[in-house]
Structure 1
Amino acid sequence: MHDAAAPRRTLVLGGARSGKSGQAESLIGAATGEPVRYVATSRLDPADADWAQRVHEHRVRRPATWFTVETASGAGLAEVLRDGSAPTLVDDLGTWLTAEMDAADAWELPRGTLDPRVDELVDAVTDYPGRLVLVSPEVGLGVIPETRSGRLFRDEIGALNARLARACDEVLLVVAGLAVTLK
């Protein structure tokens, strides 16, 4: 039975290599041995050995009791969240947003073009009946990107993070491997 005081939906934010994925894994219960649905949002490019290595590192540290759902295989993230109530970890929303922008060819389109997909995701998170941990990059603290596409991504992920922070019971910011509770 779920403890009413425990957070049901948690958003874990952090910069590159901050430890946000590891923090999220510990929150969802990596050490308990309980089954967890791990929703992987990245797409592998066979020509990108560095990214393939990062994905491999994430895979090998997951407990054997976890099962993986890859949104890159065609299932939309909101649809995956609407299908079930198992404890779920989504890693990460930056790669989800990138894939959505690619699919819509939205890199040169106006801000807000993906609002319907973002609305679907926020609704699915709000309605999720089980334990849910979301990982997302915090990219708005650094240098303003030089390119329009970089600024667009920064703005869109910032807006998404703000909406999800309102929808979640708990929000953590991971900096240098340390988690700070924001909500």
Structure 2
Amino acid sequence: MPRTLILGGARSGKSGRAEALVAGEPSVRYVATGRRVATDADWSERIDRHRDRRPAHWSTVEITHHRELATTLRSGPTTLVDDLGTWLAGALDDLAAWDSPRGTVAPAVDELLAAVTDHPAPLVMVTPEVGMSVVPESRAGLLFRDEIGFLNARLAALCDHVELVVAGRSLVLTDHERSPR
């Protein structure tokens, strides 16, 4: 089944592009990885805006622990995952890995990649591209940038189609020789 990766910066239009790619599907499962934070009204409003723009016939799965994503992807219809940056931040939280050595989340990433490979229907994944921005000042920022970069590269190797969204415009990245699965 085809797998698509949509990369882009903050507010670039990557979620809208991913939604457009699956809009014609009769059954879509939207997997939301952004966890609600009771004390963050702005974040909750952003989650609500994403939810409100989805068609009523789409089902939604809200991930509350990083392991749920791999489990969810092992079955199901056409699926849109939005987004892998919030999934990774959640995994770092769940594993108390923000101050741990790089690679601490590798087993969780490996589990996710296996589930992506095995997903039985079309799959569209949204992820932030953070490697083109300023160098983070904090250790946590550097860790996140490195880990999402590693994750994105590994996912791109598994995907049939990869796009980069910048300023609302989508650029199809050239095909490459894919790694063995």
Q: TM-score, normalised by structure 1?
A: 0.91
* Ranges in structure 2 where 5+ consecutive residues have no aligned partner: 176-181
Return the match for 1:45 from 17, 37, 43: 37
* Residues 65, 94 of structure 2: 8 Å contact kept: no
Q: 2:47 aligned with 1:61, yes or no?
A: no
Residues 47-69 of structure 1, C-alpha deviations (whole Å, 9 max, x = no match)? 11111111111011000010001
* Residues 33, 63 of structure 1: 8 Å contact kept: no
Q: Which residue of 1 aligns with 2:20?
A: 26
Q: Which residue of 2 aligns with 1:4?
A: none
Q: Moved runs in structure 1, 4+ residues, more than 4 A?
A: none
* Ranges in structure 1 where 5+ consecutive residues have no aligned partner: 1-6
CA distance in 1, matches of 2:132, 2:102: 19
Q: TM-score, normalised by structure 2?
A: 0.92
CA distance in 2, matches of 1:83, 1:70: 16
Count of paired positions:
174
Q: 2:12 aligned with 1:12, yes or no?
A: no
| Shift in CA distance, 81/33, structure 1 to aligned 2, threshold 3 Å | closer
Deviation, structure 1 residue 155? 0.2
Is the partner of 2:64 in helix, strand or coil?
helix
Q: What does 1:1-183 correspond to in 2, within 5 Å?
A: 8-29=2-23, 32=24, 34-72=26-64, 76-84=68-76, 86-182=77-173, 183=175
